[in-house]
Amino acid sequence: MAVGLPENVFMTTVNAAASWCRKNSLWPMPFATACCGIELMATASSRYDLARFGAEVMRFSPRQCDLMIVAGRVVMKMMPVLQRIWLQMPEPKWCISMGACACTGWVFDTYAVVQGVDRFIPVDLYVPGCPPRPEQLLRGLIELQDKIMKTGTLNGTEFGKRTVAEGPPTMEFEEIRRSQESQLLTQADEK
Ligand code: SF4
């Protein structure tokens, strides 16, 4: 004979419990380099209240963060810094690319501006707009929470697919400088 559970007992899996805890306690690492950063600040303010989603603990300490939010355009010189901060963040970690500049480079189609941060670090969620409004970032956060709940596993197997970003691997500053110089030389030769 089947025995029903009492009303005050519920069952779940360890994976689901871990994902639930993780999605409701995201600690953002703000990497705000331009105007989108102001919208990010507004999102954390009392009017929009990021704290409602458990993600208000912004700390400039990568080792305590698990959500990178890249807000604004990133220039090539900043990319090694961004990569280093990303690598310093412990797993499990996620990344939101906020705004057209971070996602694609936007109107700054120059050799000095990174044409999409996903060429260098893995991005889980893109928030479009110039700038995206705080509501859009909140929507993005909710989508990310859904993703964590759907795909999260205790041992992080979901990250196996994205350990390598689509673009070039971590570059040292010298490599970037050399590649920029060679680009400039090529352009000068063509003229
Ligand atoms: S997307 Fe627009 S608002 Fe955001 S950093 Fe770029 S120019 Fe500024």
Residue-wise pLDDT tens digits, 69-91: 999 999 999 998 999 999 899 98
Percentage, residues of the chain above pLDDT 70: 90
pTM for the whole structure:
0.82
Atom number in ligand 1 closest to CA 33? 5
Q: Is residue 75 domain-resident?
A: yes
Q: Check if the beta carbon of residue 103 is closer than 8 Å to that of residue 130.
A: no
pLDDT at 127: 95
Q: pLDDT tens, 4-24?
A: 778 888 778 899 999 999 999
pLDDT at 167: 47
Nearest CA to ligand 1 atom 6: 101
User: 11 C-alpha vs ligand 1 centroid, how far in Å?
Assistant: 45
Mean of the pLDDT values across residues 103-113? 92
Residue 36 is part of a domain; what is its CATH number? 3.40.50.12280
Q: Which domain holds residue 115?
A: 14-190
For all residues of the chain together, what is the average pLDDT?
87
User: 108 C-alpha vs ligand 1 centroid, how far in Å?
Assistant: 10
Q: Is residue 4 domain-resident?
A: no
What is the total count of domains within the chain? 1
Q: Which of 37-41, 96-100, 142-146, 150-154 has the least mean pLDDT?
A: 150-154
Q: For strands 28-32 and 94-98, give the pairing.
A: unpaired
Percentage, residues of the chain above pLDDT 90: 61
Q: Which of 45-59, 78-92, 146-160, 161-175 has the least mean pLDDT?
A: 161-175
Q: Is residue 56 domain-resident?
A: yes
Number of residues in the chain = 191
Is the predicted pLDDT of residue 43 greater than 60, yes or no? Answer: yes
